[in-house]
Amino acid sequence: MFGSLKAKGRSMPETKNRSAIVKSVNDITPNMRRIVFGGPELKDFPKGKHGGYFKLIFPDLPHSAPGEPVMRTFSIREHDEAKGEIAVDMALHGETGGVACDWSAKVKPGNRISISRPGMVRMAPANADWYLIAGDMTGLPAALCNLERLPPTAKGYAVLEITSEADKQNLNLPDGMELHWVINPAPHAEKTQLLDAIKALPWLDGVPVGWTACEFDTMRALRT
């Protein structure tokens, strides 16, 4: 989702992919890996995309059709404009992982990968009576970006599903936000734990804003 074309002093819409260089790879928890991308083509990465999405493009995989690279969508966890670097947090799924998980398990600093131009940033509005922000392990990075942007007066619930106790991250939430960690070591087998935890919460007064990033069936049930 990236790439910037310029013509005679005026900026053109981003229409091509960018080449990104892996700068560092670190496990921030046992099941969450942070990968930082940089390189010349990220120096003018668009501002204001923190929390937005983009795609990693995995070309020439054995099961991909010719000329049709496999793509996976991720949230931009951090953007260091001074260094021209963006950080992505990837959940590690072990034996149940797919293309992105296999890649993240083997990636090393210096590796290159193409990334698409950034998409929309979908953050919860700042004027809700109360909030419900929820995410499973894959949606956790985007959920944390939302929680970090809440106004100091925000109240409501943050319900976050993680694989183990060791996957808890230190969060600085508004005093009115109540945090609930849901420990689910087998999310592909036990798919209702996040939903059950949310349904058990008391409904607060006023008009809520819900923001969720989770498995499709759970998302559909939450909307209902």
**Does residue 183 contact residue 165 with C-beta atoms inside 8 Å?**
yes
CATH fold label, 130-223: Rossmann fold (3.40.50)
CATH fold label, 6-115: Elongation Factor Tu (Ef-tu); domain 3 (2.40.30)
pLDDT of residue 171: 94
> pLDDT confidence of 18, banded at 50, 70, 90?
very high
Predicted TM-score of the model (pTM): 0.84
pLDDT of residue 13: 41
- CA dist 131 and 165 (Å) reads 24
Kindly provide the residue ranges of all beta strands, DSSP E only, lying in 59-141, ordered along the sequence.
70-75, 78-80, 85-91, 112-115, 130-135
In this predicted model, what pLDDT tens digit does every residue of 29-50 receive, in sequence order? 999 999 999 999 999 998 888 8
- Between CA 2 and CA 91, with CA 22 as vertex, the angle to 5 degrees is 90
Count of beta carbons in the 10 Å neighbourhood of residue 71? 19
**Does residue 37 contact residue 85 with C-beta atoms inside 8 Å?**
yes
Q: Who's near 50: CB < 8 A, 6+ residues apart?
A: 76, 77, 78, 79, 121, 145
Mean pLDDT on 172-197: 90
Look at residue 128 and tell me whether its pLDDT is greater than 80.
Answer: yes
Look at residue 218 and tell me whether its pLDDT is greater than 70.
Answer: yes
pLDDT of residue 37: 97
> pLDDT confidence of 63, banded at 50, 70, 90?
low
In the chain, where the domains are located: 6-115, 130-223
Total residue length of the chain? 224
Q: Do the first three CATH levels of 6-115 and 130-223 match, i.e. the same topology?
A: no
